Structure 1
Amino acid sequence: MRQRLYTTHIYVDIFNKLIVNGATGVAFGNIRPVSSNSPVEDVSSPSMRCNVGGASGNGTTTTTFSAGSTVGFVLDNTIYHPGPLAVYMGKAPTTAASWDGSGANWFKIYEMGANFNPFKFQSMDKSTFTFTIPKTIPSGDYLVRIEQIGLHVAGSPQFYISCAQATVTGGGSARPAMVSIPGYVTKNDPSLTVNIWNPVPTAYKVPGPAVFSG
């Protein structure tokens, strides 16, 4: 992967549209609005859950889909900052709109890492990301959280995060292993501190827990 020239300008990276079974919604229709396009850089911050300004969803519509549905996010640009991408779901204790994302209620359902020879992150230059909601998760309200991590500055990862609100129907009784956000990654995680330019990595693990396939 050739090193691009990056300046201090923050590139626009906001996942602002949700796809449900092939239908793309309006910007921030089911996705909590965020305060700006700046990334989250403190892995211990509560903003790691749903970005700055995303702690409440009372003004956001909650969509409904069945377990096993194909869901996705659309970025308002293409991925420019090289790094991994992952999708988490968080089981809301009450409603998705009223939950701030606190507690060990999160599990990973999708991730995109890197290809090698030549080395390139799989999310690069893409703007649409779709995945399958596990068929066995319990019905109920969830936050569906996407993150893309920019690793272009070694040791200073940038998290681009959005959360959608959803009610899942027709689910099962699976109990995925849960994590807390923040807490699911640490600032010393080798997958976050890695220099992706020199030497070029020959292996890479996406940060966070393993994917729950359901």
Structure 2
Amino acid sequence: MKSATYALVSATLAFQAAGHSLFQNLWVDVHGSQCVRMPANNNPVTNVNSNDIRCNVGGTRGVSGKCAVKAGSTVTVEMHAQPGDRKCSAEAIGGAHYGPVNVYLSQVSDATTADGSTPWYKIFADSWSSKGSVGDGDNWGTNDLNSCCGKMDVPIPADTPSGDYLLRAEVIALHTAGQAGGAQFYMSCYQITGK
């Protein structure tokens, strides 16, 4: 009985982990992975009182690159299960990890050194729709993300002032959100600069 229970727990954990994913690329006219603060792994953040909710575990440390983004342009965030794994044959976030896709901006003095503690404001949301964005019956933003090979187009507001920003792409998986601390946040921050 003990080995059967262990096998069931192992299979359950493997299924749950199969849905974990990372935002890892930003497309701004060209591919831009040099400006992402790549999380160490694809595990979710569940403690909304932790600093990890800002830009993921370890995401308060910047990288050297910035992606140039013009106000009024469209960027594309890209999410997949593992770093460098960009196959369209696999879901960007699977395992019934349904929920909204949100994108936020935070204006900062220098995107390479900002720790994510400055105020954030939402610029994009693909949540639940009664009609479904792609006419597929599953109306969550994560399904749209999966249908588009992990990519989601995000318009940058035309009235965004010039300067440096952190752009935070996030999925909130709601499959275990019925319990305290059950919502799973998958996010990455991108360091952008605009003129």
**Same fold (TM > 0.5):** yes
**TM-score class, shorter:** 0.7 to 0.9
- Contact kept, 8 Å, 2:167 with 2:190, in 1: the verdict is yes
Are residues 1:19 and 2:27 paired? Answer: yes
Distance 2:20 2:127 in 1: 21
Relative to the length of structure 1, the TM-score reads 0.69
Distance 2:37 2:23 in 1: 10
Are residues 1:164 and 2:187 paired? Answer: no
List 4+ stretches of structure 1 deviating above 4 A. none
Aligned equivalent of 2:79, options 75, 93, 97: 75
Letter paired with 2:21 = D
Distance 1:150 1:131 in 2: 19
Aligned equivalent of 1:115, options 109, 112, 129: 129
Letter paired with 1:7 = T
Give the C-alpha shift of residue 115 in structure 1.
2.5
Identity value in percent? 35
Within-5 A mapping of 1:1-214: 7-9=12-14, 10=17, 11-21=19-29, 23-26=30-33, 29-57=34-62, 59-77=63-81, 78-80=92-94, 81-92=97-108, 94-103=109-118, 105-116=119-130, 118=137, 120-124=139-143, 125-126=146-147, 127-153=150-176, 154-155=178-179, 156-169=182-195
Letter paired with 1:42 = N
Distance 1:65 1:140 in 2: 10
Q: Alpha-carbon deviations, 1:171-198, whole Å to 9, x = none?
A: xxxxxxxxxxxxxxxxxxxxxxxxxxxx
Give the C-alpha shift of residue 119 in structure 1.
5.2
Letter paired with 1:168 = G
Distance 2:129 2:117 in 1: 33
Give the C-alpha shift of residue 63 in structure 1.
1.3
Q: 1:160 to 1:91 in 2, by over 3 A?
A: same
- Contact kept, 8 Å, 1:60 with 1:165, in 2: the verdict is no
Q: 1:157 to 1:163 in 2, by over 3 A?
A: same
Relative to the length of structure 2, the TM-score reads 0.75
Distance 2:64 2:77 in 1: 16
- Contact kept, 8 Å, 2:106 with 2:167, in 1: the verdict is yes
